[in-house]
Structure 1
Amino acid sequence: MNDYSFLHQTNIILHIVAGSLALIAGLIAIVTTKGGKSHRKSGIVFLIFLMMVIITGLVGVFVFGRNIFLLIITMLSGYLGFSGYRVLKSRSNKIYMADVVIALIVLTATGYFLYYLKSIGFIWSPIIVYSTVGYLVGMITYDFIRYLIPAGRYRNLWLYEHIVKMISAFSGILSAFTGTVLPQYHPYSQFLPSVLGTVVAVGFMVYVYNRKTKNRFIRK
């Protein structure tokens, strides 16, 4: 058995508990009526526990030097959760300094992660590393490009962005969970939750689009 310190063990327990509760709250937010009371409350609870996952994950990496790959998973889920919440609150592509600063910090940390991997050699499946980093960089790139979208057009896009980011944050946590408890099924236990999350996100976006189209048709 690994000789972990009491503080490290406590951090691991908090990380596991926070992650499990985040998954439960996130699942409730996904299956409940969008915009309803249960959806909003469970979404807030998901973000609270996601923040705890981020904090304990960063402590595990930088204080106790454990599994630096958790750094990129933590950054992915944390950034998408933050950005997805910000989109919901602003419902616009107006530039806010806090959003820009957080995006640049995460982008810099991602660069450090890739540099570190190059220095020690790959010890994880390249498909997992490249797909995770690529998706995160792609989302950050989009977040800068969206400032160029005309405000009137973006008014019809923010909800789709919220859906993609929040479900991606959830599937990132789920991937970390299944990848940890089912190591014998790597890399499938690591990337299949993300594939499932993509399918769910696309399904919700199609539903929202069809509902908006139907409402426009009724108003006419």
Structure 2
Amino acid sequence: MTADLIFQAHLILHVATGMVALVVAPGAMITRKGGHWHRCWGKIYFWSMAAVAGTALVMAMMRSGLFLGLVAVFSFYLAFTGIRALHRKPPDAQATPWDWGVSLIALLGSGGLILFGGQAIVKAHTIGVVALVFGGISGGMAGRDLWRFWRPPDSPRAWFFVHLKRMLAAYIATVSAFSVVNFSFLPPVVRWLWPTVFGTIGIILWMRYYRQKFAAHSAG
């Protein structure tokens, strides 16, 4: 098989699994948390994101360049840590070497994004803004994860909010990829970042809803 065929095969798989992730994630959002369908859609979404990231890394190494590879690491990190948060639900649960390793890789990747972004801005390439934003978000999350592994939070529901934030953030990355490919009528930076802006607002509102719900339940 030639390099072009290998690249095209990965591209087809990348697009197909990306569409699966885009479609099934809302199913996990609207179904009962912890229920059968929530877990079912969530697992499909996670493995779709794993395939998206894996194929993106292969394409980045073959042709597409550093930026796509770093974004793939960032996107998978969000989904991975969202799933791993469920495994730290028990009060005595500890972070595993996998948790530490993935977060350290994400921290290094975020440094790569920031360096890439700085160089791109110096060369007057607008993609540098996107790289700096994603690198800053990724670095902040990875750093906080490492700190929490070292000093686990006291809140019994900390795992829930990490799971919620990371899975929603991973979906924002999925929507961003769809926007970049299909919304060519928008300026490049807007195509990349509008899902992050509106998605972050959505995450804040959703987390506020659940905090109020849990507080009311505890008070009642």
- Band the TM-score falls in, shorter-chain normalisation: 0.7 to 0.9
Q: Which residue of 1 aligns with 2:14?
A: 15
Q: In structure 2, what is the Cα distance between the partners aligned to 1:29 and 1:175?
A: 19
Q: Which residue of 2 aligns with 1:160?
A: 161
In structure 2, the CA distance between the partners of 1:150 and 1:19, relative to structure 1 (3 Å rule), is closer
Q: Deviations over 1:91-133 (max 9, x none)?
A: 2562321111111223223434444566674644332111100
CA shift, 1:17, in A, is 0.6
Q: Indicate the SS of the match to 2:64.
A: coil
Pairwise CA RMSD: 2.2
**Matching residue within 122, 127, 140 for 1:138:** 140
Q: Which residue of 2 aligns with 1:86?
A: 84
Q: Which residue of 2 aligns with 1:74?
A: 72
Q: Does 1:126 align with 2:124?
A: no
Q: In structure 2, what is the Cα distance between the partners aligned to 1:204 and 1:85?
A: 18
CA contact (8 A) 2:113 2:132 kept: no
**Matching residue within 198, 210, 213 for 1:208:** 210
Q: In structure 2, what is the Cα distance between the partners aligned to 1:50 and 1:165?
A: 13
Q: In structure 1, what is the Cα distance between the partners aligned to 2:73 and 2:139?
A: 11
In structure 2, the CA distance between the partners of 1:111 and 1:206, relative to structure 1 (3 Å rule), is closer
Q: Which residue of 1 aligns with 2:184?
A: 183
Q: Indicate the SS of the match to 1:155.
A: coil
Letter in 2 for 1:50: M
Q: Deviations over 1:171-210 (max 9, x none)?
A: 0121122012223312212111112221222222122112
Identity of aligned residues (%): 24
In structure 2, the CA distance between the partners of 1:170 and 1:10, relative to structure 1 (3 Å rule), is same
**Matching residue within 193, 196, 199 for 1:194:** 196
Structure 1 unaligned residues grouped into runs of 5+: none
Q: Which residue of 1 aligns with 2:57?
A: 58
Q: In structure 2, what is the Cα distance between the partners aligned to 1:123 and 1:7?
A: 30
Q: In structure 2, what is the Cα distance between the partners aligned to 1:109 and 1:122?
A: 22
Which one scores higher on RCO, CA 8 angstroms, separation ≥ 6? Answer: 1
Q: Which residue of 2 aligns with 1:171?
A: 172
TM-score, normalisation: structure 1: 0.87
Structure 2 unaligned residues grouped into runs of 5+: none
Q: In structure 2, what is the Cα distance between the partners aligned to 1:154 and 1:190?
A: 34
Q: Indicate the SS of the match to 1:187.
A: helix
Q: Indicate the SS of the match to 1:98.
A: helix
Higher mean C-alpha displacement, 135-144 vs 29-38:
29-38
Q: In structure 2, what is the Cα distance between the partners aligned to 1:190 and 1:183?
A: 11
TM-score, normalisation: structure 2: 0.87
Q: In structure 2, what is the Cα distance between the partners aligned to 1:206 and 1:177?
A: 28
Q: In structure 1, what is the Cα distance between the partners aligned to 2:176 and 2:119?
A: 25
